[in-house]
Amino acid sequence: MEYKICKHCIMDTSDPEITFNKEGICNHCRNYEVRKKMFVPDSSEKHKHLQEMIDFCRKKGESKKHDCIIGVSGGVDSTYVAYKVKELGLRPLAVHLDNGWDAELAVSNIYNVLKKLGIELYTHVLDWEEFKSLQRAFLKASTPDSEIPSDHAIGALMKGFAAKEDIPLIWGVNFSSEAVLPRTWSQGHMDWAYIKIVNKLFGTQKLRDFPHYSVYKRIYWNRIKRVRTFSLLDYIDYDKEQAKNFLIEELGWRDYGGKHHESIYTKFFQAYILPAKFDFDKRRAHLSSLILAGQITRNEALEEIEKPLYDEKELQEHLVYIPKKLGLTREEFEEIMNTPPRKYEEFSPKFPKVILELEEKIYQLLIKIKKKIIMPKV
Which residues sit opposite 12 in a β-bridge? 5
In the DSSP assignment, the letter for residue 214 is -
How many residues can be counted in the chain?
378
pLDDT at 190 (0 to 100): 86
pLDDT at 257 (0 to 100): 65
The verdict on residue 23 lying in a domain is no
Range of the domain at 144: 45-374
* Residue 348 clears pLDDT 80, i.e. is over it: no
From residue 78, alpha-carbon distances to 2, 82, 231, 306 in Å are 39, 6, 11, 27
Residue type, 94: A
Radius of gyration of the chain (CA): 21
**Mean pLDDT within 59-87:** 94
Instruction: Express each pLDDT in 249-279 by its tens digit.
Output: 999 998 866 554 678 999 999 999 999 999 9
Q: Backbone phi, then psi, for 165, in 5-degree steps? A: -85, -10
CA-based nearest residue to 168, from 55, 77, 39, 69:
69
pLDDT at 363 (0 to 100): 56
The whole-angstrom separation of Cα 323 and Cα 89 is 45
Sign of CA dihedral 47, 49, 55, 57: negative
The verdict on residue 29 lying in a domain is no
* Range scoring the smallest mean pLDDT among 140-154, 170-184, 288-302, 345-359: 345-359
374: confidence class by pLDDT, cuts 50, 70, 90: very low
The verdict on residue 82 lying in a domain is yes
The whole-angstrom separation of Cα 18 and Cα 33 is 17
DSSP string, 299-365: HHHHHHHTS-SS-HHHHHHHHHHHHHHTT--HHHHHHHHHSPP--GGGT--HHHHHHHHHHHHHHHH
* Residue 36 clears pLDDT 70, i.e. is over it: yes
CA-based nearest residue to 86, from 124, 113, 48, 56:
113
The verdict on residue 1 lying in a domain is no
CA-based nearest residue to 153, from 183, 181, 124, 185:
124
CATH of the domain at 341: 3.40.50.620
Longest dimension (CA), the chain: 61
Strands across the sheet with 120-125, in order?
120-125, 92-98, 68-71, 169-171, 229-231
Number of domains within the chain = 1
Quick check: 83 and 76 in contact, CB under 8 A? no
53: confidence class by pLDDT, cuts 50, 70, 90: very high
* Range scoring the smallest mean pLDDT among 95-99, 231-235, 370-374: 370-374
Instruction: Express each pLDDT in 237-246 by its tens digit.
Output: 888 889 999 9
173: confidence class by pLDDT, cuts 50, 70, 90: confident
pTM beyond 0.85, yes or no: yes
The verdict on residue 363 lying in a domain is yes
* Residue 299 clears pLDDT 90, i.e. is over it: yes
pLDDT at 377 (0 to 100): 37
349: confidence class by pLDDT, cuts 50, 70, 90: low
The verdict on residue 26 lying in a domain is no
* Residue 376 clears pLDDT 50, i.e. is over it: no
CA-based nearest residue to 231, from 5, 30, 44, 80:
80
Quick check: 76 and 178 in contact, CB under 8 A? no
**3-state DSSP assignment of residue 217:** helix
* Residue 326 clears pLDDT 80, i.e. is over it: yes
pLDDT at 359 (0 to 100): 60
* Range scoring the smallest mean pLDDT among 1-10, 214-223, 241-250, 305-314: 214-223
Q: Backbone phi, then psi, for 96, in 5-degree steps? A: -130, 135
* Range scoring the smallest mean pLDDT among 103-107, 302-306, 318-322: 103-107
pLDDT at 360 (0 to 100): 61
**Mean pLDDT within 9-37:** 93
The verdict on residue 14 lying in a domain is no
Residue type, 301: A
Residue type, 246: F
Burial 202-211 (b: 16+ CB within 10 A, else e): bbebebeebb
* Range scoring the smallest mean pLDDT among 155-164, 285-294, 321-330, 345-354: 345-354
pLDDT at 42 (0 to 100): 83
**Mean pLDDT within 331-356:** 82
**Mean pLDDT within 98-110:** 90
**Mean pLDDT within 327-336:** 95
**Mean pLDDT within 195-209:** 94
The verdict on residue 81 lying in a domain is yes
